Homo-oligomer: A and B are copies of this chain.
């Protein structure tokens, strides 16, 4: 069982997960390639834990081929539902069991198919699976957050090549989301509006950072982007929770999201990237004005070095206005 620990200075939680433990000499090894027996390929279902959900062709059976998307528990989970919720103390140190969930969304039965290459219906199913998994996990009232993220390419942290995303659900609200919630509340007190709505409103007026604006969704480069070509996707009107979207909205988001990824891929020549989905916390009271769900996409173009770690200050070599121009000009 892993352990959650809270830093007593800045109250940042970390997961100490020695199940994934390594001796010092292990860190130098490169991850082994799994091309012949990829656990995520169709036909290799026995190599993963039993599936949690799948989109399947009629008449096919659980943990057998015949699926177009499959969600399974992570074989080496950082957190597990078997944990206890209780916080414990040792002096002023605070810690708790590694309670939570860690799932893998296998986006396609084909090893080589990326999100950008997928058919529109298959891409839509990926987004639908994200929604459905969050809806299911929020029934466990011990869970306070569900973070969906993707590491595309080894430089972005992918250890399995086969296209997939992950979901980690935690019993505490992550620091980044806490900060966004607090910032949104402060902004609302001063400006009497949602900060994300304010950004959309302002940015749509001068248009310099907007990449796409259609079907109820906006793709933009944020004013204070940390990374070159950092890209956000937000619903154009105020929505607190991603998982409250109906199928019609899921379809529209999928179309805008896939086009955004295709533009990034073309502009940056197949970059490795990460994306994360930020929705409101689960099982937690959130005032309606205090959050606005969004997706953050971060192409992995620069190395984050000592200055960034030490300061929380980022140096971005590409003005977001210029990145937006490049992305708009891409011909798909």
Contacts and interface: CB of A to CB of B under 8 A. Distances in A.
A174 to B, nearest CB: 4
Contacts of A310: 147, 149, 174, 176, 274, 276-278, 296
B223 A5 contact: yes
Interface string A1-43: 0000111111111111110111111011000000000000000
A317 interface: yes
A264 to B, nearest CB: 9
Contact of A180 (B9, B229, B267, B320): B9
A288 interface: no
Question: Do most interface residues of chain A lie in helix, strand or loop, or is the interface mixed?
Answer: mixed
Contact of A301 (B27, B150, B278, B311): B27
Interface string A263-288: 00001110100111110000000000
A209 to B, nearest CB: 10
A67 interface: no
A92 B191 contact: yes
Interface in A133-184: 145, 147, 149-151, 155-158, 166, 168, 170, 174-177, 179-180, 183-184
Given A191-B92, A198-B92, A269-B28, A15 B315 contact: yes
A173 to B, nearest CB: 9
28 contacts: A5-B223, A7-B223, A8-B187, A8-B198, A9-B179, A9-B180, A9-B195, A9-B196, A14-B224, A14-B315, A15-B316, A16-B316, A20-B315, A21-B318, A24-B268, A27-B301, A78-B315, A145-B311, A147-B313, A149-B307, A156-B305, A175-B312, A177-B311, A274-B305, A274-B310, A276-B306, A276-B309, A296-B310
A91 interface: yes
A224 B13 contact: yes
Given A28-B269, A174-B311, A223-B7, A17 B306 contact: no
Contact of A14 (B12, B151, B156, B313): B313
A314 B14 contact: yes
- Copies of this chain in the oligomer: 2
Contact of A267 (B9, B17, B24): B24
Given A198-B8, A306-B149, A306-B156, A317 B174 contact: no
A157 B10 contact: no
A224 B224 CA distance: 29
Given A145-B311, A149-B310, A174-B311, 17 more contacts: A5-B224, A8-B183, A10-B180, A11-B183, A12-B312, A14-B224, A15-B315, A27-B301, A93-B223, A155-B303, A157-B303, A157-B306, A170-B313, A176-B313, A274-B306, A276-B307, A298-B306
